[in-house]
Amino acid sequence: MGEKRGLHKRLEPFINCKDFTVSDETYEVMFNKEYDMLVTSPIPVDLENYYKSENYISHTDSKKTFIDKVYQSVKNITLKRKLALINSFKTEAKNILDVGAGTGDFLKICTSNNWNVFGVEPSVDARRIAKEKGVFLEEELLDIQNKKFDVITLWHVLEHVEKLSDYISKLKELLSENGRLIIAVPNHKSDDAKYYKEYWAAFDVPRHIWHFSQNSIQKIFSEDNMEVEKILPMKFDSYYVSLLSEKYKTGKMNPMKAFYRGFVSNLKASSSSEYSSLIYVIKNK
């Protein structure tokens, strides 16, 4: 179905990026003009092996390194903001599905606020950590049958999905009649992306297959009769991504310079709305 949409067709060279996390391999990031998005090429056959690294922080609760500690601190703040967002929706059943639930922290805070939670996470290690917190996760989204959810969240997940069209169709199937998808993804049109170029940490090849713009999200979801209702900034992401990007570019953290680049990115985005990462609230139609 991905081919049917034309997501892999009419691609033009854009930039070459290195996998700084696992393999040190170089991948092409190609531009799809029709969808105004970028596509990583090629996609490795054994893609799951590219997640097997202690550096892949979203699958652990690690606080070993400076970057780990920054990530965990920011995560605790953003969890409260995510909860406030879903609580702003007027739903009776309060059924929520978190796709790519990681170590279960978001669903745990949802449970304590009277949401009926359901989660999906492919990583065995992440599911084990979540279980220790009392959060039980399924392995695959496509295995979920005969359920409807008022809210489905994907926090930095959609960029990882191989069969994007199939996945979006499944999300549509699981969404209640007036339900909402919340999709958070990096934005390759942000100022920090333009500044760091091939060192921009949010390219994260080959794990990030798709690199979205606001235009591409609106077009892709409209094809499944869903509508972008609201777009919200993730202002912390520019700082964290710049910190990683500095490390990739120079071999050093350079936290002061990273903070400056993150600040500049957010400042420019205040007029353009092109923040480092964006949250899309998408309504079923």
Q: Report how many domains make up the chain.
A: 1
The rounded distance, in Å, linking the Cα atoms of 23 and 67 is 20
Its domain, for residue 181, covers: 2-284
Instruction: For residue 158, give the DSSP letter.
Output: G
Return the structure tokens found at 221.
């979801």
What pTM, to 2 d.p., does this model score? 0.92
Q: What is the CATH number of the domain that holds 251?
A: 3.40.50.150
For residue range 184-243, list pLDDT tens digits in order: 999 999 999 999 999 999 999 999 999 999 999 999 999 999 999 999 999 999 999 999
197 neighbors 37 (Cβ within 8 angstroms): no
The rounded distance, in Å, linking the Cα atoms of 278 and 258 is 19
**For 266-283, b where at least 16 C-beta lie within 10 A, e where not — what string?**
bebbeeeebbbbbbbbbb
For residue range 44-64, list pLDDT tens digits in order: 999 999 988 766 545 455 666
